[in-house]
Amino acid sequence: MIAWEYSTIPTESWANNEQDDWRIAFDNSAAVIAISSYTIDVLKETMGADYPSAAIPCPVWDNMERFRARQDTATPLKDIRLDFDGVLIDSYAMNLKVYVPSEEELKERYRRDDEQMLGLQETHRRLRDREKELKKEWAHINAYREYLRGEQVEAVRHAKYNLFQQTLDSRGSLKSRLGLLFYLTRTFFADGLIALGLRSAERTLQGGLGYDRANLEQLDWFSDVYEENYKRASADEGLVDKEMDAYLAQDTEEDDVAEEDLESDSVISNSVQLKGYIYTAIINPYDGRKNWQDMVVAFCWAFKDTEDATLVLKVSARHVVQFADELVFHLQRLAPFKCRVIAIDAYLDEDAYDKLLEGTTYYVNTSYGEGQSIPLCEALSAGIPAVTSNHTAMRDYVFEDACFIFKSNAQLTHWQHDARKAFRCLHFRPDWLDLVKAYRDSYDTAKNAPDTYVAMGARAAIHLKGHCSLPAVKAQFSSFLDQYRDIFHHQTTHDAVTLAHEPRKAE
């Protein structure tokens, strides 16, 4: 059985682990049960259209019977008190104005920024000027080196010519002269023209040309000066880096949630009054697929002037501080807004969970993909409409007459467990503007057309009954067993024979 929300299944291995290639497991299985038709389609694209498989969801509809009876008379406007033991993060309890500087603070900050920028620009200008000077000095050094190299080459040619001429003058016959020419050519080119030429050049320069070693000493001096200037320029660049780091590291005055309170081992008793139109999501904030960031930002933008709209994030986080920091970071950038955002990190027993659902007007899902999404199925089974997309597994049970559906766009990504993070598949990111519109449309319906809202909840429960009620799942499973009974019988017989022939291990 698999739950999978990506557009492809892994068909390659990495880190010397062949099991990362799912085809190996599927080839050794009689059949596969997935909990969504989307996963089955993805599976068959790789394993073939006739691969034994079925889409059978988890049966959650029957467990929500206690809510459906109440939802028939429920109103979208909620007013409940939720008690729990855990961490509560409430935008109403935060002074988000701290994160919105006053006009005087902005002017002072801009003034400091301008001074800092002028200083950096002056340092940058000095570095550029010094760079130009160093380039000129280095050009002079290279030119002088080329001059010395030319003098050496000319000296070699002169010495070779004199030696050759003197030798020819000392020999008489043309034959002997040609032989000597061949000998000298072989000597210079085959037995070390470079070494002989340089030695001859040095002797010639020391004699006829008056070779001056002071020139080389002057060249060394130029090199030392250039190296010293280069070190000085590097030190100036390091100073700029330090100044920039200090500038970027300036602390802003923020009222952060105390980490010792959030990470304390002691149990914190909390309560919160949920009043108005409540949007609820149950997520693991560290599962990047759930995309709670778009959910929060779009909510605050859609309801920045709406006081009776509240977003409740029921989270499950081992280290809630990291999530709290990121949540506050988003909220302070969105401030000011009049809506309310609440995050609850706690284990909710059955009574508390029931109370949360009773106080929910809409369930919200903004994930990139779902294998099934049990919380969304439970909310719809309870008769609670949703704000969601209908990609991946949600296409099996999300319909326009029971949900406010926003569009999404395919986006290249990697398999969740792939340590390489190699692009191999697609997921689906919400269309942010359409998500904002879905929020506003849902609010308008709940507030101005409560009868329509109640009817949407009733239709949601009917759709989910046909999808994931116990009788529906039993029927799908029975059909699956009947369809592939011969395959299962053959596989069971094969396994029994194999087991019978295996040697028993010593006890």
Q: Contact at 8 Å (CB) between 54 and 409?
A: no
Q: What is the reported pLDDT for 57?
A: 97
Q: What is the reported pLDDT for 165?
A: 63
pLDDT at 44 over 70: yes
Q: What is the reported pLDDT for 202?
A: 44
Max avg pLDDT among 113-117, 307-311, 332-336, 415-419:
307-311
β-pair partners for 88:
344
pLDDT at 177 over 70: no
CA distances from 78 to 257, 309, 401 (A): 28, 10, 22
pLDDT at 421 over 70: yes
pTM above 0.85, yes or no: no
Q: How far apart are the C-alpha atoms of 395 and 188, rounded to whole Å?
A: 86
Q: What is the tens place of the pLDDT at every residue in 196-230?
A: 444 444 454 444 434 344 444 444 554 555 455 55
Helix (H, G, I), strand (E, B) or coil at 357: helix
Which helix or strand (DSSP H or E) is residue 276 part of? strand 269-283
Query: Which string of b and e fits 202-227 if b means at least 16 CB within 10 Å?
Result: eebbeeeeebeeeeeeeeeebeeeee
Q: How far is CA 475 from the centre of its chain?
A: 41
CA distances from 329 to 7, 249, 256, 290, 325 (A): 32, 16, 10, 18, 6
More confident residue, 191 or 71: 71
Minimal CA–CA distance to 376: which of 400, 401, 358, 393?
393
- The arithmetic mean of pLDDT across residues 425-452, rounded, is 97
Q: Which of 5-14, 178-187, 346-355, 366-375 has the lowest average pLDDT?
A: 178-187
pLDDT at 187 over 90: no
pLDDT at 243 over 90: no
Q: Contact at 8 Å (CB) between 269 and 87?
A: no
Which helix or strand (DSSP H or E) is residue 82 part of? strand 78-90
- The arithmetic mean of pLDDT across residues 32-40, rounded, is 96
Q: What are phi and psi of 99, to 5 degrees?
A: -85, -5
Q: What is the reported pLDDT for 339?
A: 97
- Token readout for 219 is 């060249």
Q: What is the tens place of the pLDDT at every residue in 363-379?
A: 999 999 999 999 999 99
Q: What is the reported pLDDT for 107?
A: 76
The pLDDT-based confidence of 128 (bands split at 50, 70, 90) is: confident
- Based on the number of CB atoms within 10 Å of its own CB, is 402 exposed (0-12), middle (13-18) or buried (19 or more)? buried
- The arithmetic mean of pLDDT across residues 278-288, rounded, is 94
β-pair partners for 32:
53
| Mean pLDDT rounded to a whole number for the chain | 80
Helix (H, G, I), strand (E, B) or coil at 316: coil
pLDDT at 176 over 60: no
Q: Contact at 8 Å (CB) between 76 and 383?
A: no
β-pair partners for 410:
428
Question: Tokens 């010519």 label which residue?
Answer: 161
Identity of residue 171: R
Q: What are phi and psi of 55, to 5 degrees?
A: -100, 110
Q: Where are the domains of the chain?
A: 77-94+257-360, 114-248
β 340-346/309-315 pair status: parallel
